[in-house]
Each structure stands twice: as C-alpha cells, then as structure tokens.
Structure 1
Amino acid sequence: MAHIDYYLGTISTWSYLAGDRLEQIAAQHDATITYKPIDLMQLFPRTGGLAPAERHESRLDYRMQEIKRWRDRLGMEMNLRPAHFPVNMAPSSYAIIAAQEAGGGDIGALVRGFLRAVWAEDRDISDDEVIRDVLSASGFDPALTDKGLFVGAEQYGRNLEDAVAAGVFGSPFYIVRETGEKFWGQDRLDMLAEHLSGL
C-alpha cells in the first residue's frame, strides 16, 4: 500500500483548486494520506521563494491569469480576491493536526472546508467560530479548536522542518513515501496517479 505525504497551506490557492482529486486518486490506488499543514510564509524564504505580496508584478499578473484559467477549467466557485487573504494559517493548521490525531471525521473534507472557506466563502479561518464550524461540518469534535492547541502547535513546527528536509517548496506538494517521488502542484495530480499505478 502506497502512502502519500501531503504538504499544504490552508490558504493555498492551488490546494483549493486541487479539490478532492487527491482523495479520489488515493482511493483508486488503495493509498493512504498524511496531511501536513505548513506555514508557507516561513517555507518560501527558506527554500528560495517569495510570498505572493513580494513577487514581481509580472509574476502576480501571470498568477492571476493562471488562477482564472484553472478555476474555469475545473468549474470551481472562487473569489479571486478573498476578503481574508492572507490570514494566519496556524489556528486552522492546528485544528487539522489535532483532528487527524483524534480521528472520527473526514480529514480530507476538513482540509477542503478550510480552503473553501477562504476561496469561496470569504470566511476568516483564523477565527475560532469558523474553525469550530468547519470541524463540525467534517464530522469532528468542534472542541478540538481548543483541546488540540498544544499538540497542533508542536506538530506544525515539525511539519515545516520535515518539509524543508524533504525538499518541499510550495503547496500543494505530494511525496510518495515508498519511492520518494515528488509532485508539486494540483496540475501534477495526473502524474501522481500514473506513478501510483506503477507501484
């Protein structure tokens, strides 16, 4: 059985556009997933990148064109200028980590719920009430918002170090543990599926 480490930022445009395709691919190939939320604003400078706000205007212009193209191709609802972007990723990331540890709900739906809250619902995913609501909607105990704070904070820091050590530099980033193969971007999901077919 293959295992995929999925590194993501809970405000990542491209993780949102990935939708549930990773989960579909994993189900088709009997693979498991570990969700590893990371602080992208710390990852970028440590791996030679820049936060979007610091990028050259030409890159920002092209990024917006690409977002529109992918949004339309995938038929996804999306606010191109969300009300709460960027926002502190730590609280929602802690919730994902705590929920993954606790079990009992749909972790993929939780991750997508936070991403959708940013990109389609104009909600602030650093707000405790929003976090509780997304946890509950995904089948998790909303009290994890508070109960999971300590374990979430510790693992969030470790996830960043793991990401840097593993060669991760963006989101979404998928690594197949058995082979070490890396796939950066939602537009590489088909290649991930092809790779899993060969295992």
Structure 2
Amino acid sequence: MPHHVDYFFSTLSPYVYLAGTRLEQIAARHGATITYKPLDIIGLFPRTGGVAPAERHPARMQYRAQELMRQSKKLGLAFNLKPAHWPTNPAPSSYAIIAAQAAGGGDMGALIHGITRAVWAEDRDIAEDTVLRACLEAAGFDPALTDSGLLAGAEAYAANLEEAAARGVFGSPFYITGEDQRFWGQDRLDDLEATLAGDL
C-alpha cells in the first residue's frame, strides 16, 4: 500500500523554514504522497493546550531563541531571530499554497520553503502580493494564483484548522502518516522516514 503523509503547518513557523525540503526528499525515497494543509496556528494553540509565542514565559522564549539559532546553524540555513515582518497575516500565503496544490505543475516543497525563507532569512512580508507572486514563480507555479480561488482558499484554510484539532495536531510542522503515526517538529523527520521505511 502506498504511503501518504498529511502535512499540517503554519507559514509563520520558523520550524517549517528549518524543515527545508526534507519532507519532499523523504517522500520521494519512499514513494509517498503528501497533502499540504496550511492552518491558522494561533487559532489552534488555545484549542490544544498551546500558548502563542507572545504569551509564553520568558524562560521558554529564551530557550526557543537558543534552539532556533542552534538548529539553523546545524542545518546551514541563514536565520534572522527577529525578522522585520513577523508576525504578519498568514492567510494570503496559505491561500496561495492551497491554490498551488490544486493547480499543480510546480514544486510544493520549494514554494513552502521559499515563503518561509522570505520571512526568516530575507525580511520580506509574506502578506504582500508581490512577495507571494515571486515565490510562486520561483517554484514553477503561475504567479496569478494569488488572484484566484480566494474563497476556496479561505474555506480550505478554515477546514484545515478543524481537521487539525480533530486529529491531534498541536504544533507546526506536524506530520501524520496514513497509519495515524504522528510527528511534531522538523527534528522528527528522521523518525518519520524510519516509519515509512518500516523500521519504527
């Protein structure tokens, strides 16, 4: 039976940026398909016992800062701990991803990495149409997708939040296999791959 992964994530998440395109590489190695499900992480937190970054205890935020810098260095990714446009409105970028997935023809992993890189390494505002058009085009999609499917995007974005809450998702990135094995965080991608390989 072919493998499948449902990928729940926020375009504002630094950990989604740090994940790079490793999920897509893993899926390619194991013949797995991926369904991309961008969601409103700030809407998810209170429903699943989480706390928005702005409301977290200083000790947690200090640890987060250290860990983000360690992980970015380990992965060789440029990283700005205090980006110029964070937080910003994640809805437009999420709608663009939903539209791109429906349209096909491009590289979804590159699109998501490009959008999150724009936030965490390039100080660009992913709520701006020009930024999203550039990210779409760079990943092989029609940049005009930012102008289409807004209603469908909004509906899918809301549905993804409800599905996430119902399926035990509580953070970003979050991966669920077809066998309901759940993995939270870019640092669990090795475990996801081992599970797809039948080793875990």
TM score, norm. by length of structure 2: 0.97
**Distance (whole Å) between structure 1 residues aligned to residue 145 and residue 37 of structure 2:** 17
Q: Percent identity?
A: 64
2:194 aligned with 1:194:
yes
Secondary structure in 2 aligned to 1:65? helix
Q: Equivalent residue for 2:185?
A: 185
2:113 aligned with 1:143:
no
1:1-199 alignment to 2 at 5 Å? 1-177=2-178, 179-198=179-198
Deviation at 1:11, TM superposition (A): 1.0
**Distance (whole Å) between structure 2 residues aligned to residue 17 and residue 116 of structure 1:** 9
**Distance (whole Å) between structure 2 residues aligned to residue 190 and residue 145 of structure 1:** 33
Deviation at 1:146, TM superposition (A): 1.1
Q: What residue ranges of structure 2 are gaps of 5+ in the alignment?
A: none
Deviation at 1:41, TM superposition (A): 0.7
Deviation at 1:152, TM superposition (A): 0.6
Secondary structure in 1 aligned to 2:187? helix
**Distance (whole Å) between structure 2 residues aligned to residue 187 and residue 38 of structure 1:** 20
Secondary structure in 2 aligned to 1:155? helix
Secondary structure in 1 aligned to 2:143? coil
Moved over 2 A (4+): none
Q: What residue ranges of structure 1 are gaps of 5+ in the alignment?
A: none
**Distance (whole Å) between structure 2 residues aligned to residue 106 and residue 187 of structure 1:** 22
Deviation at 1:148, TM superposition (A): 2.1
**Distance (whole Å) between structure 2 residues aligned to residue 68 and residue 132 of structure 1:** 29
**Distance (whole Å) between structure 2 residues aligned to residue 51 and residue 157 of structure 1:** 19
RMSD: 0.9
